[in-house]
Amino acid sequence: MTTSFFSEVLRIPGAKVLSREEAAFHYGADTGASQRLPAGAIVIKEVDAIQEVLALANEFRVPLWPISGGRNFGYGTSLPVDSRSFIVDLSQLRRVYIDVKSSTALIEPGVTQADLHAAIKKSGADLLVPTTGVGPNGNILGNALDGGYGLTPITDHFDAISELEGYWGNGTEFRHTYQDLNCPEMAKRWNAGTGYSWAGLLRQGNFGIVTKARVQLARSPEATRILVFEWKSNDAFINSQTELNKLTEDIPGIGGIIMMNDCRILSTQVDTPLASTLTGEARAAYLQQLAKERKISAWTGLGTLYGSRAAVAGSVKDIRRRLKNCRVWSFSPNQIKQLQKIQTYLPQWGFSSLRRHFGALVNTLGTVEGYPIVAFLKIAYALDPTAKKLDLNSHPAKDGAGILWYAPLVPFAADEVERYRTVMSKCLMDNGFDPLLAVTSRSSRTLSGTIPVLFDRKNPDDVARAKKCYRQLVTTGLENGWPPYRLGIDYMDMIACPADSPSAQVQHLLKNALDENSVIASGRYEHSKPVTPFVPVASPVKATETATASKRVSPPDYSRAFTHSVNKTETNEA
């Protein structure tokens, strides 16, 4: 059956098919050391090929695993949950259309942060890229669909999507209801529509393939400040949570705040201090002493402020007034750029506090101003004593880095944060891993914890220990009421609800209605379910239809840089 599917897909213009061996070579490396490999891969070079691939997948009941960029480091990289799947690689679909009037970008699935930044710059618009830690090659759409977030004004990246176009698993087309009501301008600006809304099914869902999306982009504000918070003790950090919670609601221009313990800060430093071979209590004492020598506080926070000059200035004063036992630094982008020019000339005495934050300030600058940087990938290489210099070619999975990201949601409350710190530190240290803890404000009520489990991928014992630890973290988190906001491919079973639970039943009903042959992302954030009988689907497009093929135009040359189309009024959308 798979062989027949493979041979039929070979006939589709605009699609390149890779065998299992070829797919393993191109997509097999995973930072999480997953051993599963795909059945093959289909590289989409022309968007029209997607519907034909879907028709064949339904005909042969072959599961597909769509990827936008394949850089989902720590969560599975490019690999599917179900090893029967063919990867559908959409990374070559990279058209970008900037609409200056609505401050939006219409993008294809493969568009990266660097692509979007270049398109914005060419358009002359003063807009911010929704940056993330994965850097310039990080994918915009893939990150949004998996629930990613950042520190720029629109923190939740899925919330920034106002239009989604594509196909449900059964081949039915979807698009914003306002398009069908002939209200395209409002489709750009109001993601909910009027009446029912299905867009949320595509967030961490496995019901369809997105071929195009419109992203609402934040405008560059009149004033921006980068905030650095220092808590000298754990008690001071915990005691500030209640007031910090209120501040995130009282100050509308405040973006996400990431708060990291001293070990987490050490993991980002250029001389890779975590590469030490010490273990157990000796390692813990070494890291504690190192943090003390480098004057790293018990907890350090990085945050952003956006707004008018008066509002931002007032907000900084208010934050300093209300946060007790916390030192708050505030820098404008221009001040950081000036520091970059003179920092080598600063005397050692009197500037030690500033020096220890300088790297973080420079790294955060790109995120705040909305242009992508590679610096935040550094943590993936924290156990590498060679201290690689990061560049655009850095690829942790292909470079052999071992990292699994555990990301629980935690109530934004002092007692919960203290419990999270205590419980998760114990779980990590009991398994022989450093407690690299961080929490980021997602709202005034919720924090997202991020914990990297770093390990040596070349060491089978280390790999097994890391995977065991990850499962214990997820289990422990659920027992404490902290569900993961995102999960890796090897661990989807850990959030499976019983087949007779209401949530599982609803998911089964939706899956049967929109993707009855289960061809889209089998196993992705999916509840356990009974096997359903195969029901043939009348595909809306036959893969062998000669009429469709005769209408095709030659696919664009994606080997060159993509073309940016600037839409300053209201011209064509695609």
Residue 120's CATH number: 3.30.465.10
What is the pLDDT, as a whole number, of residue 185?
A: 95
Residue 319 domain-assigned?
Answer: yes
Whether 485 contacts 448, CB under 8 Å = yes
| Statement to judge: residues 432 and 333 lie in one domain | yes
| Statement to judge: residues 120 and 181 lie in one domain | yes
Q: Which residues, including other chains, have CB under 8 Å from residue 508's CB and lie 6 or more apart? A: 499, 527, 529, 532
Radius of gyration of the chain (CA): 24
Which segments within 150-292 are labelled E, that is strand? 161-168, 173-174, 208-216, 223-231, 258-261
Q: Residue 329's domain spans which residues? A: 223-378+393-491
Whichever domain contains 422, its CATH number is 3.40.462.10
Q: What is the value of pTM for the model shown?
A: 0.87
What is the pLDDT, as a whole number, of residue 294?
A: 87
What is the pLDDT, as a whole number, of residue 346?
A: 61
For the chain, which ranges sit under pLDDT 70? Answer: 1-2, 343-364, 366-371, 387-388, 527-574
For residues 566 and 448, give the distance between their C-alpha atoms in angstroms, rounded to a whole number: 36
Q: Which residues, including other chains, have CB under 8 Å from residue 287's CB and lie 6 or more apart? A: 262, 263, 266, 273, 274, 434
End-of-domain residue from the set 163, 190, 220 = 220
Whether 211 contacts 200, CB under 8 Å = no
Q: Looking at the 3D structure of the chain, how many domains does it have?
A: 3
111-138 burial, b if ≥16 CB within 10 A, otherwise e?
bbbbbbbbbbeebebebbbbbbbbbbbb
Residue 23 domain-assigned?
Answer: yes
Three-class SS of residue 234? helix
Whichever domain contains 522, its CATH number is 3.30.43.10
| Statement to judge: residues 309 and 264 lie in one domain | yes
What is the pLDDT, as a whole number, of residue 570?
A: 32
| Statement to judge: residues 459 and 412 lie in one domain | yes
Q: Which residues, including other chains, have CB under 8 Å from residue 175's CB and lie 6 or more apart? A: 163, 164, 165
End-of-domain residue from the set 160, 192, 220 = 220
| Helix, strand, coil percentages in the chain from 3-state DSSP, rounded to 5 | 35, 20, 45
Parallel, antiparallel or unpaired: strands 64-67 and 86-89: parallel
| Statement to judge: residues 458 and 436 lie in one domain | yes
Residue 452 domain-assigned?
Answer: yes
Which DSSP state fits 205? -
| Statement to judge: residues 26 and 168 lie in one domain | no
Residue 386 domain-assigned?
Answer: no
| Statement to judge: residues 307 and 420 lie in one domain | yes
| Statement to judge: residues 241 and 285 lie in one domain | yes
Listed residue (303, 322, 297, 293) closest to 234, CA to CA: 297
| Statement to judge: residues 277 and 335 lie in one domain | yes
| Statement to judge: residues 255 and 204 lie in one domain | no
| Statement to judge: residues 301 and 443 lie in one domain | yes
Residue 170 domain-assigned?
Answer: yes
Establish how many alpha carbons lie within 13 A of residue 78's alpha carbon, considering only the half-sphere containing its beta carbon: 28
| Statement to judge: residues 83 and 117 lie in one domain | no
End-of-domain residue from the set 186, 220, 254 = 220
Residue 324 domain-assigned?
Answer: yes
Residue 281 domain-assigned?
Answer: yes
What is the pLDDT, as a whole number, of residue 205?
A: 94
Residue 385 domain-assigned?
Answer: no
For residues 27 and 50, give the distance between their C-alpha atoms in angstroms, rounded to a whole number: 20
